[in-house]
């Protein structure tokens, strides 16, 4: 979309938020705003997923805890995917400060903060989910990332995994050569194009909301997402195979508008940080439970779906080998900052593997 038109659209979205009744409440404004009047202060939290997904449960729990801790002085309004547009719209609204909080997944945010695409590289993290969970909380990694987020007017609050990325496809994929000419839907960050081109596929970037119909109309041959999302968006209905290559995890980040965050009183800032810390453990359990439960549902609803729980070690090694040069492309695309970040992620995983 033309940049100018996009901005007009965003201005209309902002106006829409006021018309939706939010304007009748006191706007978010940190310490000063929280010291006057009896109306609750409203914090808006937009997520990139629909109701009943990992991000939705996360945002609802954030809301519950913040409202409880502030005795209702702050109320959090959660906007599920679609209510404020696509991931790109949500990111822009948080950047502008029209909303205070948003989830921003590297799969889309990479267009704004290229270095965050480090989390899109394949075979980078540990094979063990708990290890990755610890690594993603690494303070040095967080600080390095936050420096990049702040330059774009975001405050990075959290990085977490929503589970393994799983392919649902119309044909069987066992090894890279099976991807020859295969139209794979990817999120819209450029690194994902590189990642699947490395296997010989033809990657097709699309917003989340367009994936189901693109599969249905045979415009694409497959897509990649965690199990809970495959069930929630019904992608399994329009594909024949569900393959678990364990090549990457779906990583997301939680952000706040930087000006809003810095304008909060120290006590409020501490409360947000404390809540975010508490939610790191909480969300690990949520993604584990949702991915497990939804897999059982999919099996029950579509018994004829071919589920491939793992690739052979030999084929997995072929994918790993094909993926490695994408790390060089990442460094080429992101320069010194990207290179340093890549090293930090690898160090954080190593430290977590050693139980530090």
Binding residues vs ligand 6CS (CB under 6 A): 48-49, 87, 105, 107-108, 162, 187, 208, 225-226, 229, 250
Give dist(CA 347, CA 356) in Å, integer. Answer: 11
Extract the tokens encoding 281.
Answer: 């453990």
Cβ closest to ligand 6CS, residue 229 vs residue 349: 229
* Minimum distance from residue 59 beta carbon to ligand 6CS (Å): 13
Contact 292, 131 (CB under 8 A): no
Buried b (16+ CB within 10 A) or exposed e, 316-333: bebbeebbeebbebbbee
Q: Are 253 and 105 in contact (CB under 8 A)?
A: yes
Write the CB contacts of 344 (distance below 8 Å, at least 6 apart in sequence).
138, 140, 141, 144
Query: Which DSSP letter does residue 317 get?
Result: H
Residue nearer to ligand 6CS on the CB measure, 162 or 194: 162
Q: Is 103 helix (H, G, I), strand (E, B) or coil?
A: strand
The residue with its CB nearest to ligand 6CS is: 208
CB of 188 to ligand 6CS, least distance (A): 8
How far apart are the C-alpha atoms of 191 and 170, rounded to whole Å?
Answer: 24
Nearer to ligand 6CS, 105 or 168 (CB): 105
Q: Least separation, in Å, of the C-beta of 19 and ligand 6CS?
A: 26
Residues with Cβ within 8 Å of 137's Cβ and at least 6 positions away in sequence, in order, are 159, 280
Beta carbon nearer to ligand 6CS, 57 or 162: 162
Phi–psi pair at 201, nearest 5 degrees: -85, 170
CA distance linking residue 185 with residue 205, whole number of Å: 6
Least distance in Å: CB of 250 to ligand 6CS?
5
Name the residue nearer to ligand 6CS (CB basis): 85 or 226. Answer: 226
Q: How far is the CB of 232 from ligand 6CS (least distance, A)?
A: 8
- Of 108 and 258, nearer to ligand 6CS (C-beta) is 108
> H-helix or E-strand containing 237?
none
Minimum separation from the CB atom of position 91 to ligand 6CS (A): 11
Nearer to ligand 6CS, 85 or 114 (CB): 85
Q: What is the DSSP letter of 70?
A: T
Q: For residue 121, which of 322, 348, 353 has the smallest C-alpha distance?
A: 322
| Residue (250 or 260) nearer to ligand 6CS, CB | 250
- 34 or 91: CB nearest ligand 6CS: 91
Measured distance CA(139)–CA(141) in Å, rounded: 5
Please report, to the nearest 10 degrees, the dihedral formed by the alpha carbons of residues 274, 275, 281, 282 taken in order.
Answer: 170
Q: Which is it for the CA torsion 307, 313, 319, 324, positive or negative? A: positive
CA distance 209 to 53: 14
CB of 193 to ligand 6CS, least distance (A): 14
């Amino acid at each position: 979309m033309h940049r100018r038109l996009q901005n007009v659209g965003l201005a209309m979205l902002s106006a829409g938020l006021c018309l939706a009744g939010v304007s009748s409440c006191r706007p978010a404004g940190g310490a000063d705003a929280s010291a006057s009047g009896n109306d609750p202060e409203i914090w808006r939290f937009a997520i990139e997923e629909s109701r009943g997904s990992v991000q939705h449960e996360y945002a609802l729990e954030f809301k519950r805890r913040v409202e409880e801790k502030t005795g209702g002085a702050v109320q959090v309004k959660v906007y599920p995917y679609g209510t404020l547009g696509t991931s790109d719209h949500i990111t822009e609204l948080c950047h502008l400060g029209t909303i205070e909080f948003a989830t921003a997944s590297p799969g889309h945010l990479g267009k704004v903060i290229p270095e965050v695409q480090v989390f899109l590289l394949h075979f980078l993290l540990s094979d063990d989910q708990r290890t990755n969970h610890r690594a993603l909380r690494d303070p040095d990694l967080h600080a390095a990332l936050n420096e990049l987020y702040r330059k774009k007017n975001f405050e990075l609050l959290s990085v977490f995994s929503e589970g393994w990325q799983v392919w649902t496809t119309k044909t069987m994929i066992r090894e890279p050569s099976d991807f020859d000419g295969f139209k794979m839907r990817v999120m819209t960050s450029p690194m994902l194009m590189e990642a699947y081109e490395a296997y010989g596929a033809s990657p097709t970037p699309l917003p989340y909301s367009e994936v189901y119909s693109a599969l249905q109309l045979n415009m694409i041959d497959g897509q990649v997402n965690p199990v809970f999302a495959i069930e929630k968006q019904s992608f399994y209905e329009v594909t024949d195979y569900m393959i678990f290559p364990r090549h990457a995890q779906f990583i997301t980040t939680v952000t706040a508008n930087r000006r809003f965050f810095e304008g909060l009183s120290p006590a409020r800032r501490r409360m947000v940080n404390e809540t975010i810390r508490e939610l790191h453990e909480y969300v690990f359990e949520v993604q584990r439970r949702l991915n497990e439960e939804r897999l059982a549902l999919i099996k029950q609803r579509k018994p004829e779906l071919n589920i491939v729980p793992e690739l052979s070690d030999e084929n997995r090694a072929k994918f790993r080998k094909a993926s490695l040069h994408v790390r060089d492309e990442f460094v080429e695309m992101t320069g010194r900052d990207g290179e340093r970040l890549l090293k930090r992620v690898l160090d954080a995983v190593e430290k977590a593997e050693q139980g530090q």
